[in-house]
Amino acid sequence: MENSMDSSRSARRTKEEKKLLRRQIKTSHTLLKHEGINTVSHPTKHLVVSNGGLGNGVSRESLLEVLKEGGTVESLLTPPAKPYAFVTYSSIEAGQNAYTFLNGRALQCQEEQSVTLYFSYVEKVDGDRGVSCALPPGLSVLEDFVSPEEEMQLLQAVDWTPDTDDVTVQKALKHRRVKHYGYEFRYDNNNVDKDKPLPGGLPAECDALLRRCLADGHISVVPDQLTVNQYQSGQGSTSGIPPHVDTHSAFEDTILSLSLGAKTVMDFKHPDGRSVAVVLPERSLLVMKGESRYLWTHGITPRKYDVVPVLEAGGSGVMTSDLSNLTLSRRGTRISLTFRKIRHTPCNCAYPSACDSQRLPSPPTVPVAEGDACRLESQYVHQVYEEISSHFSSTRHSPWPQVRDFLLSLPPGSVLADIGCGNGKYLGINPEVVSMGCDRSANLVQICIERGHEAFVSDALSVPLHNGCCDACISIAVIHHFSTQERRQAAVRELIRLLKVGGRALIYVWAMEQEYNNQKSKYLKERTTETITENGKELKTEENKPNQQEEHDGKMSSDMKCTEDGFGNATQARIHVHTNRTAFLSQDLLVPWHLKGNADKNKGAASSSTDVPVDNTSQRPVFHRFYHVFQQGELEELCFGVAGVKVLRSYHDQGNWCVELEKTHYTLSKDDIAQEIF
Beta strands in 487-637 (DSSP E): 499-510, 515-516, 519-520, 529-534, 537-542, 562-564, 570-572, 588-594, 622-628
pLDDT band, very low/low/confident/very high, at 313 (cuts 50, 70, 90): very low
**The one-letter amino acid at 37:** I
Across the range 262-267, mean pLDDT stands at: 90
Q: pLDDT of 484-506, one tens digit each?
A: 999 999 999 999 999 999 999 99
pLDDT band, very low/low/confident/very high, at 207 (cuts 50, 70, 90): very high
Of 595 and 96, the one with more pLDDT: 96
For residue 455, give the nearest of 393, 374, 546, 380 by alpha carbon: 393
Is 466 exposed, middle or buried, given 0-12, 13-18 or 19+ CB atoms closer than 10 A? Answer: exposed
pTM: 0.62
Q: What percent of the chain has pLDDT over 90?
A: 49
Q: pLDDT of 548-604, one tens digit each?
A: 333 333 333 334 344 444 444 455 688 887 776 777 778 999 988 888 755 445 544
Least confident residue range of 28-32, 379-383, 644-648: 28-32
From residue 503, alpha-carbon distances to 324, 412, 472, 482, 661 in Å are 62, 14, 5, 24, 8
State the average pLDDT for the chain: 82
Is 272 exposed, middle or buried, given 0-12, 13-18 or 19+ CB atoms closer than 10 A? Answer: middle
What are the b/e assignments for 212-244, b being 16+ CB within 10 Å?
A: ebeeeebbeeebbbbbbbbbeeeeeebbbbeee
For residue 229, give the H/E element and its range. Answer: strand 225-231
Q: pLDDT of 136-175, one tens digit each?
A: 999 999 999 999 999 999 999 888 776 544 556 666 565 6
Of 448 and 195, the one with more pLDDT: 448
pLDDT band, very low/low/confident/very high, at 457 (cuts 50, 70, 90): very high
Q: pLDDT of 329-345, one tens digit each?
A: 888 889 999 999 999 99
Q: pLDDT of 390-408, one tens digit each?
A: 999 988 888 999 999 999 9
Give the CA-trace dihedral at 257, 179, 244, 215, to 10 degrees: -20
Q: How far apart are CA 192 and CA 183, in angstroms?
A: 7
Q: pLDDT of 369-386, one tens digit each?
A: 999 999 999 999 999 999
Contacts of 317 (CB under 8 A, 6+ apart): 135, 140, 141, 143, 278, 279, 280, 281, 284, 286
- Please state, as a whole number, how many other Cβ atoms lie within 10 Å of the Cβ of residue 64: 16
For residue 266, give the nearest of 256, 251, 276 by alpha carbon: 276
Phi, psi of 464 (to 5 degrees): -80, 60
Least confident residue range of 44-58, 271-285, 354-368, 371-385: 354-368
- Please state, as a whole number, how many other Cβ atoms lie within 10 Å of the Cβ of residue 476: 24
Q: What percent of the chain has pLDDT over 70?
A: 77
Q: pLDDT of 59-75, one tens digit each?
A: 888 999 999 999 999 99
For residue 80, give the nearest of 300, 338, 325, 245 by alpha carbon: 325
Q: Determine contact, residues 184/193, Cβ cutoff 8 Å.
A: yes
Overall size of the chain counted in residues: 678
Q: How far apart are CA 414 and CA 471, in angstroms?
A: 6
pLDDT at 269 over 80: yes
pLDDT at site 479: 98
SS3 string, 135-184, reads CCCCEEEECCCCCHHHHHHHHHHCCCCCCCCCCCEEEEECCEEEEEECCC
Radius of gyration of the chain (CA): 32
Contacts of 4 (CB under 8 A, 6+ apart): none
Q: Determine contact, residues 490/520, Cβ cutoff 8 Å.
A: no
Q: Which range, 235-244, 351-360, 370-379, 579-588, is most confident? A: 370-379
Left (φ > 0), alpha (ψ -120 to 50) or beta: where does 671 sit?
A: alpha
pLDDT at 188 over 90: no
pLDDT at site 174: 59
pLDDT at site 585: 77
Q: How far apart are CA 12 and CA 407, in angstroms?
A: 81
pLDDT at 236 over 50: no
End-to-end CA, the chain: 113
From residue 670, alpha-carbon distances to 493, 495, 516, 667 in Å are 14, 17, 41, 10
Q: Which range, 177-191, 302-316, 512-526, is most confident? A: 177-191
Q: How far apart are CA 343 and CA 36, in angstroms?
A: 50
Give the CA-trace dihedral at 450, 456, 461, 464, to 10 degrees: -160
Q: Determine contact, residues 307/80, Cβ cutoff 8 Å.
A: yes
Of 522 and 655, the one with more pLDDT: 655
pLDDT band, very low/low/confident/very high, at 319 (cuts 50, 70, 90): low
pLDDT at 96 over 80: yes
Q: How far apart are CA 245 and CA 136, in angstroms?
A: 13
Q: Is 19 helix (H, G, I), strand (E, B) or coil?
A: helix
pLDDT band, very low/low/confident/very high, at 56 (cuts 50, 70, 90): confident
Is 162 exposed, middle or buried, given 0-12, 13-18 or 19+ CB atoms closer than 10 A? Answer: exposed
Q: How far apart are CA 449 and CA 434, in angstroms?
A: 15
